């Protein structure tokens, strides 16, 4: 039997819950007894807390991160056939909603060291039909958003930040000030899926904007296109964060900075232990963003990756491949992808990335055990 010290999980939701159990249990029971299950005061309160945390004008909570992206795009009034630039190396949701809305996903390559979309890749992909860019702050650090937003504004393009993996990160502006991730694009979207950096105990999401008019439109779309009860001025959707999840998230938001710091501490441990190993590459940081490590992702030689994963599993160490297949090779996108379409960096990353366990409850003992076995694999 494995000892508790080496019972390692990719994401340890249970231990984190136990550390705040009393507060959570009380908030959940109170919300249930209040019977204000939908759009209750808990949701308003959490919305205001997100406004304050991000220092942004409008936050619209919704049912999940995918809905957040869909609603944000719906608010822009794009026409079928308009092109939307997205990275090819991301979670499917980012591009899926583009196709769903009759728009054309134009996939571009990413930086080989930070895995993030770059301004130069975007510039090369722009055509007269381009209307929107959806950069993804992947794995916990921001894209070069200030440059991308400047370029977008000069070319009449919208920017929707997919911030599902990087809530809590800081973006350092060229004037020396810093702002929160998710406040730089025209709109930004996040997810409260349980394993995200700010996760609830079910599904949840939110949409952020500084533009009050856009914010009002987004709020309407998320609520059946309704301006006033039973008056519907446009086609919308039904996408709500429920009160129980909001109550949980209020407690977890108070801990978000601490959670980010714990992830950074775990990442620093890995990097210190692994950086000298020549066979692998530890995560690289952007100069314009800190890293909140939604994932701690190594690059290893493609030929070794499978064996490394098997070896780690034998030692009781889980690992994950984010992401194994470029979006343009997924059947879902075939109607938008020409034969032989190929992005070299995305292609290479899908073969060589491997993410190690990353969460707020990793002990030094566990980190030492994981690092030791990664090194041992490459010494063989
Ligand atoms: C998780 C995630 C989403 C979708 O969020 P859900 O709440 O699962 O719908 C979108 N984009 C990225 C990059 C994500 O990681």
Ligand 1 center–CA 65 separation, angstroms? 5
Are 327 and 271 in a shared domain?
Answer: yes
Here the CATH number for the domain that contains residue 180 is 3.40.640.10
Per-residue pLDDT of the chain (380 residues; tens, 9 = 90+): 445 455 899 999 999 999 999 999 999 999 999 999 999 999 999 999 999 999 999 999 999 999 999 999 999 989 999 999 999 999 999 999 999 999 999 999 999 999 999 999 999 999 999 999 999 999 999 999 999 999 999 999 999 999 999 999 999 999 999 999 999 999 999 999 999 999 999 999 999 999 999 999 999 999 999 988 899 999 999 999 999 999 999 999 999 999 999 999 999 999 999 999 999 999 999 999 999 999 999 999 999 999 999 999 999 999 999 999 999 999 999 999 999 999 999 999 999 999 999 999 999 999 999 999 999 999 97
Decide if 61 contacts 206 (C-beta within 8 A): yes
Across 134-255, the runs of DSSP E, i.e. the strands, are 158-162, 170-172, 178-180, 187-191, 205-209, 226-228, 231-232
Domain of residue 341: give its range: 256-379
Are 42 and 187 in a shared domain?
Answer: yes
Decide if 352 contacts 38 (C-beta within 8 A): no
Are 125 and 217 in a shared domain?
Answer: yes
Decide if 318 contacts 9 (C-beta within 8 A): yes
Last residue of a domain, one of 219, 254, 289: 254
Q: Which atom of ligand 1 is nearest to the CA of 204?
A: 7
Are 136 and 268 in a shared domain?
Answer: no
Here the CATH number for the domain that contains residue 307 is 3.90.1150.10
Closest listed residue to residue 138, CA positions, set 73, 75, 199, 93: 93
Using only the alpha carbons of the chain, give its radius of gyration: 21
Q: Which atom of ligand 1 is nearest to the CA of 93?
A: 10
Residues with CB under 6 A from ligand 1: 64-66, 90-91, 93-94, 136, 162, 164-165, 191, 193, 203, 205
Decide if 72 contacts 100 (C-beta within 8 A): no
């Amino acid at each position: 039997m494995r000892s508790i010290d080496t019972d390692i999980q990719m994401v340890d939701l249970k231990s984190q819950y136990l550390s705040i159990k009393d507060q959570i249990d009380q908030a959940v029971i109170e919300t249930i007894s209040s019977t204000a299950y939908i759009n209750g005061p808990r949701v308003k309160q959490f919305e205001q807390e997100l406004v304050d945390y991000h220092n942004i004008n409008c936050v619209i909570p919704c049912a999940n991160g995918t809905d957040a992206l869909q609603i944000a795009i719906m608010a822009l009034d794009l026409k079928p056939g308009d092109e939307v630039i997205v990275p090819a190396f991301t979670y499917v949701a980012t591009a899926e909603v583009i196709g769903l809305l009759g728009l054309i996903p134009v996939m571009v390559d990413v930086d080989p060291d930070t895995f993030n979309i770059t301004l130069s890749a975007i510039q090369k992909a722009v055509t007269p039909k381009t209307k929107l860019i959806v950069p993804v702050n992947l794995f916990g650090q921001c894209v070069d958003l200030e440059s991308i937003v400047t370029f977008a504004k000069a070319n009449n393009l919208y920017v929707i930040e997919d911030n599902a993996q990087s809530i809590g990160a800081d973006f350092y502006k060229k004037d020396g000030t810093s702002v929160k991730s998710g406040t730089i694009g025209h709109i930004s979207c996040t997810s409260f899926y349980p394993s995200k950096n700010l996760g609830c105990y079910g599904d949840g999401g939110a949409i952020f904007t500084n533009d009050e008019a856009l914010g009002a439109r987004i709020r309407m779309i998320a609520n059946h296109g309704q301006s006033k009860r039973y008056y519907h001025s446009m086609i919308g959707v039904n996408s709500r964060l429920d009160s129980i999840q909001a109550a949980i998230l209020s407690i977890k938001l108070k801990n978000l900075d601490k959670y980010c710091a714990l992830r950074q501490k775990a990442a620093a441990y890995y990097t210190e232990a692994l950086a000298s190993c020549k066979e692998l590459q530890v995560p690289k940081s952007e100069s314009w963003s800190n890293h909140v490590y939604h994932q701690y992702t190594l690059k290893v030689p493609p030929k070794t990756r499978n064996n490394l994963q098997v070896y780690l599993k034998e030692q009781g160490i889980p690992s994950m491949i984010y992401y194994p297949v470029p979006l343009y090779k997924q059947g879902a996108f075939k109607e938008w992808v020409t034969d032989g379409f190929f992005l070299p960096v995305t292609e290479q990353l899908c073969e060589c990335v491997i993410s190690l366990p990353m969460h707020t409850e990793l002990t030094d003992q566990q980190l030492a055990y994981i690092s030791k076995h990664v090194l041992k694999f490459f010494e063989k």
